[in-house]
Every structure is written in C-alpha cells, then in structure tokens.
Structure 1
Amino acid sequence: MTREDKEKYEFVLLPFEVPEGVEAIEVEYSYRAAGSGECEVDIGLFSPGDPSFPADPSVFRGWSGTNKKRFVVGRRYATPGYLPGDITPGTWHILLGLYKIPECGCEYEVRVELLGSERGEEARVPQPAGGGGGARGPGWFKGDLHVHSVHSDGDASVAELARIASGKGLDFVVLTDHNTVSHVAECLSTAGPARVFPGMEVTTYYGHMNLFGVRSWVDFRARSEGDARRVIEEAKRRGYFTSINHPKPDYPWLLGNEDRVDGLEVWQTVWEYFNYLSLRKYVELLERGRDVVAVGGSDAHRVAREEGIPRLGEPTTVVYMERLSEDEFLKSLRLGRVYVTENPSGPRLVYRARGGGAEASLETSRLLPRVESIEVFVEGGAGSVVLLLTPGGVVKLGFVDGDSSVVKASVEHSGDGFYALPLLASAEYPFDDPLSEDAVVRAIANPVLARR
C-alpha cells in the first residue's frame, strides 16, 4: 500500500466469497511500514450488497479501526464493534482504511477463516438487563455526551459505564463509539443506575462528528465537504442530532458544513485543553446568525481504569427535561435547554431574560423579539465572575461572592441577530481578550437570542 493509494482511494475493499453453510467468519490482520515512518491501517467488514459510499446500513457488519487485530462475526455472537446475524452467502468485503501511510509504503496481511460452527467460547451472547432507569422529572439532568466503550477503543462495558457514571453523579451518558452501532441494542436494554443513550461518533480522517439518537449505522467515509453534507443530511433524515466534535488541534474539523449541523462541542475534556478555540468557533457561528446548540463531552476512553485525561463527566452537560428519557433528551437538546459545567459538581448557570413584552429562560424558550434585560442565576461558583458575550463585546455582570448569586443587566442595541452568551469564568478572566487561551471558563449556558 503506497502513499499514492491513500491519496487516490483512502479506503480499500477486499472481496471474499462466503459459501452456504458458514456460521461464523474470523478475521485477523496485521500491517507495518515498509521502511521507516508511522503506519496505521483501520479495518471493518461489509456483508453482501453494494459497499460503495454512502453504503446502506444493511451491509454494515462492523468497524474496529486499529483497536482489534482479530475479530469474529457469527450468527449469535460478534466481537464488540461488530454485529451478529446471519452469515449470508455471497461476496463479502473487508474494508481497510488507510489512515497513516508513510512515504515508504505499508505492508499488510489479512487472513479470513470461514467457520462451519461458532466456537464455544465465542457463542455466548451477552444478556443485558432489562429496564432503563427511572423517568423522574421535570428538572435538570447531568450527562456526558461523548463517551467510548469496548465497542470501539474504550475499556468499559455498557453496564460498567452505567454504574461508574452514576457513581460520579451523572444521570445519563451518550455512548458515541467510533463508526459502529454494535452498542445500540445493549444501550437500549441496560438498566441504570445511569441511563446510556446510543450515539455514534462519525470518525473521518478530516474531523469527527457525534450523532445522538442513533439506531442504525451511517456511512462515515467522508473525504470532502460534499461527502460530509451527504452524511449530515442522511443523519438528519433519520432524526439524529448532529454535532461537530472538538473543532481544535489534534482532531480538527476540516469538512465545513458548520451551518448545517445542530450542535457544536464547545468543551471537550478539561477547559485548558484548547477549548478557547472551540468557543471562538461557536461565537463565529453566533455572529453569522446561526442557532447552533453548544454542548460538551469528556471524550473519555479509560472509564473502568481511569487515568489522566479525559475523565468521565469532565465536563458535564446539564439538560432540562420533562423526564429522563431519550426522546426528552433529544427534544431539549434541539431547544438548547442546556448548560455545560466543569464536572458533575460544577457550578449551575441559568438565566431569565425579558424583552418585547415576552420572557425567555433556559428551561423554556431562548428566543425573544428583542432582549432588554437578563438575570443570571449562579449556584456553586464562589470566586468566579459572571459575564455575557454579545455582538458588542463582553459585558461584565459581577462577581460571585458566596455559593449562589443573582446578577442583572440591562441590554441595549438588541435587535434581530443579537445574542447574549452567559459564561462563568475565573476571577482572572481577560476582559480585553475574552476568547484567548488565558480565558478559563467554569460554565457556559446556551445563549438567549433576538429573533423577529
């Protein structure tokens, strides 16, 4: 495999024939640089059907990136990341993703074994507990909207994730494993103590995007803005919430379409990890008149054996829902009934705004014909400063002296297109450069918007 192959194809399909009577398929693969340089080749599997982009979800049987060098797909069992089911006779395809190919090229080997029966140790089907957590409400529910499990490159099972999340004070998490949906059934049938809502992280080589409310696979092989538009449109057609992830260094979003998505991850892992750049991107969208919902997510992979960062629940996305359910979560997310705080015990940041004879709040509607005044309510933010980001610049509302505080402000020049984005920040916040790396944020609320 050469650098030219990557530039031309990026994804390679290797066909193989499966005859009648096969009960399971076992795949092993390996790769290495032909000389020096970094080499990474991802792997997945398609069953009979058209595998070209964008492929129908019916042909998808799994994806594991570089995380698993061996996997099994059988009628009753599949390695996490892959889907069990009938082994249909016909032409199957190994999907190779040419993530990193050095100048010297890459050598690879794929071995496929067709099995007449499922091996005993592989044929045990995990039986998730029934149920799915309580339906209390209405109120504010704490969640982490970006988490991984053993179904991609995380270390926790779905059940472990539910237990550990609850122990940290979270009410729910969204499981967004990379380019797969093998976790969906288990999410839907896992009893708490925390709810686990199914999602999928569309992990391209040009940026990542979360989908919430997922039931079936969406082809992730976008290589251009046009490809990404097709992915977003298909996800929305199925009713999924689309949110661009961590638009900052390491894994920046290079596929455009910011005006077409529903949300933007403004806060991933601890704030100091370049999140000021994500906030800049979000403010740019507000300046263009876009009502994109600001969300946060830890991107935690090491949950069962936590070490370093990211850590589950840091940050925490707090959502106002009539009751704790996936339907209410998606409804409230689309309405922007959301604030993001540093951890499950982090400060609470909500507001009430008035203007044009109407009232808005984070729990109801964030839209007003014009914004004339705003009250911001803070709990647990002692020693912090409350401020608003607006088209006219930053407005300092006041300091939080104790465990709770209410600050008020009158607003001028608040016609159509105006926004007021509440932030709770460290006392050393640089008001002369409010979107700089020195601006340490403790909580963000989705903005009140003036719309005629």
Structure 2
Amino acid sequence: MYKRLELHNHTNESDAVFTCKELTDFMVADHVDAFALTDHNTISGHYKIENYLKEHPQPIAFIPGMEYTTYYGHILCLNLTEYVPWENINKHKPELLFQAAREKGALVGVAHPYSFGWPFAQGCRFEMTITDYSCCDFIEIFNNPEPLHEVNEKGVKLWEDLVLSGEKLAATCGMDLHGNSSLHGHYSTYILGEPDGDVCHELSDAIHNQRTWVCKGPLLEVHNDGEALTFTIHQTGKPGYEPLAEDDYKITLRTKDQVITCNVSARIPLTSFADHAIIIPMLFEKETIIENLVCTSPVILL
C-alpha cells in the first residue's frame, strides 16, 4: 500500500501554535498515514506525542525528528530519536553534523535550500558548503508555503542535477507547518509500505533506495519489463485533489542530456535512453511546466 507522509511540522515546543496533541489530531483529521515532528533544535515534543498516541490510539504513525536551525541553513533530520549536539556547526563542513546524526540512526536532508535568507529570514537559505553528498540522504524539493519559482523550482532543479550527476538522494516535501493551515492542494511525500508495517523502517528503506513520490494526489507508477518502460497512474484520494482523465496527463523522462515527453499510454523502449543509466520521471497536468507538476516519481536506474 502507499502511505502518505507529512515530514516537516512544528509545535509550540519550538515556534508554532499547535500543541503536540493538536498537531496529532490535525493530521488524523486529514487522513495522513504518518507524520514527523521536526521542531527547531529540540526533541522535547517526541515523548508527548508518543504518550498521547499510547493513551489515545489513533490510525496514524509517528516519525521522530528535528530541524537543526542554524545561521547558515536548516538541516532536516527524520528518525532522530536522541538529541545530537551541534554547537560546533561548521559552515564549510556540514558533513560532520550529518555523520553524527546518521550515527544515531537518523536520515539527514537539506530543508528548503533556496528559501529567502537575510534580510527576510536569517539562516533559512542553505548556505553551507557540501562537498560530500554521500553524507546526505534527501533534499526537501518542495517546502509548500514557499514561492514556486523563487524557491521550490530551484529546489527541484538542485535535486535533479545532483541525482543525474550520480548522487544517491531521495526527494521529499513538507508543509513546514506552524499553525492551522490547509493541506489541500499541496504536495505530500508517499512511500510504499505494509498496512501494519513500521513506518520509520519503511521510510528509511524508501529514502535510501530513492523510492519516494512527491505529489499532490496522483502517483506515477513506472514499469520496466526489461525492454521498455510503461506507465500507470494511481489516484491516492488525497483530500483537495480532483483527478483528471488519463489523457490529460503528460510524463517527462529526464536524463542527463535529454528529455522524453509522452502520454500515460506510451511504451518507451529502453534503447531510447542510449547509455544513460539514471532517469527521473515526472507527471504533469496537460503541459509540462512547473506550475502543472503533480508528481515526481522514484528515480529509475537502468
């Protein structure tokens, strides 16, 4: 089954309005399968949500996390179960913190890399120098409240360029939720999992294998029979999305130096990709422009 995840959320344990209980209830009401708590520089809310779910069982899973909030950028950690000190953060070698968090079992990613920084929001833009992306697990390509062209489109392009250059990075998104905002019409992260599966383990497997979907509702499934790629669309029923007819969707298959555009019904021979081993599939509504992007699909390795 596909699981819908909301991976970037805050409570009044840091700078948001929601209590831990209110955030949990908010996510349950929108039929989210699992959500993360990523408060700024604190994990104090973890035990509150865990205790609340233990005492009041809900049809939702919890992912512990934290957002390291520095003057040089924000680092999103998922599956982080204990606080990792970061007082000696090095702008020119953030890998030191990445590795320290990973040693505790965390997934480490760059949050909203092109967010507005100084003088609007000091530190929100990622200005650290990463020289070894093997220490990083994912890029938050859509931070939903941020402007499309000025911030999120650049985040998508960064992730594409890194993946097509050979870096093994997954794509995620988040609401960066600080209050009672609608989740409708925004991107969520989806992964495959079992009905009673451990979502933290499933998320780890999905990110390590670049098997995440970032979408508004329809998931693009790509099938490889050894000779060609074919496609199907799975409508998730995400609240706030109205499905289109299959003919109204377009697909792009991006490699390092070519883009193939096709319909959902197409069959694309593998020979179309020459020597390219990495393909990024994306699903659009009608036209292949960033405003119409509804799903990034898992990276294909031929």
The aligned length equals 274
List aligned pairs for 1:342-353, cutoff 5 A: 342=216, 346-353=217-224
Q: Residue 397 and residue 173 in structure 1: after superposition, are their counterparts in 2 closer, same or farther (change >3 A)?
A: same
Q: Distance in 1 between matches of 2:5 and 2:299?
A: 19
| Structure 2 residue identity aligned to 1:333 | I
Asked if structure 1 preserves the Cα contact closer than 8 Å seen for 2:255 and 2:278, the reply is: yes
For residue 297 of structure 1, what is the aligned residue in structure 2? 174
List aligned pairs for 1:90-101, cutoff 5 A: none
For residue 394 of structure 1, what is the aligned residue in structure 2? 259
Bigger drift between 278-287 and 329-338 goes to 329-338
For residue 205 of structure 1, what is the aligned residue in structure 2? 71
Asked if structure 2 preserves the Cα contact closer than 8 Å seen for 1:205 and 1:223, the reply is: no
List aligned pairs for 1:172-321, cutoff 5 A: 172-191=34-53, 192-221=58-87, 222-226=89-93, 228-250=94-116, 251-257=124-130, 259=133, 260-269=135-144, 272=148, 274-303=151-180, 306=181, 311=183, 314-321=186-193
SS in 2 for 1:264: strand
List aligned pairs for 1:39-54, cutoff 5 A: none
The alpha-carbon deviation at position 412 of structure 1 amounts to 2.8
Q: Are 1:449 and 2:296 matched, yes or no?
A: no
Q: Report the structure number with the largest CA radius of gyration.
A: 1
The alpha-carbon deviation at position 418 of structure 1 amounts to 2.0
CA deviation string 1:184-216 (max 9, x = no partner): 222333322322211000111111111111111
Q: Distance in 2 between matches of 1:229 and 1:329?
A: 22
Q: Are 1:330 and 2:204 matched, yes or no?
A: yes
Q: Are 1:375 and 2:233 matched, yes or no?
A: no
| Structure 2 residue identity aligned to 1:347 | P
Structure 1: 4+ residue segments shifted above 6 A:
none
Q: Distance in 2 between matches of 1:183 and 1:280?
A: 34
Q: Residue 219 and residue 415 in structure 1: after superposition, are their counterparts in 2 closer, same or farther (change >3 A)?
A: farther
SS in 2 for 1:197: strand
CA deviation string 1:63-117 (max 9, x = no partner): xxxxxxxxxxxxxxxxxxxxxxxxxxxxxxxxxxxxxxxxxxxxxxxxxxxxxxx
| Structure 1 residue identity aligned to 2:33 | D
The alpha-carbon deviation at position 339 of structure 1 amounts to 0.5
CA deviation string 1:295-325 (max 9, x = no partner): 111111113xx37xxx488321111113243
Q: Distance in 1 between matches of 2:284 and 2:63?
A: 30
Q: Distance in 2 between matches of 1:302 and 1:313?
A: 17
SS in 2 for 1:190: helix
Given the alignment, which residue of 392, 404, 418 partners 2:277? Answer: 418
- Unpaired runs of 5+ residues, structure 1, are 1-138, 356-371, 399-404, 431-437
Q: Distance in 2 between matches of 1:429 and 1:340?
A: 16
- Unpaired runs of 5+ residues, structure 2, are 117-123, 236-242
| TM-score of the superposed pair, with normalisation by structure 1 | 0.56
For residue 32 of structure 2, what is the aligned residue in structure 1? 170
- Relative to its length, the structure with more helix (as a share) is 2
Asked if structure 2 preserves the Cα contact closer than 8 Å seen for 1:374 and 1:409, the reply is: yes
Asked if structure 1 preserves the Cα contact closer than 8 Å seen for 2:221 and 2:234, the reply is: no
- Relative to its length, the structure with more strand (as a share) is 1
**Identical amino acids, percent of aligned pairs:** 22
Given the alignment, which residue of 360, 384, 400 partners 2:249? Answer: 384
Q: Distance in 1 between matches of 2:176 and 2:275?
A: 35
Asked if structure 2 preserves the Cα contact closer than 8 Å seen for 1:282 and 1:294, the reply is: yes
Asked if structure 2 preserves the Cα contact closer than 8 Å seen for 1:320 and 1:332, the reply is: yes
Q: Distance in 1 between matches of 2:218 and 2:162?
A: 25
The alpha-carbon deviation at position 414 of structure 1 amounts to 4.6
Bigger drift between 160-169 and 311-320 goes to 311-320
Instruction: Give the number of the structure with larger relative contact order, counting CA–CA contacts within 8 Å between residues 6 or more apart.
Output: 2
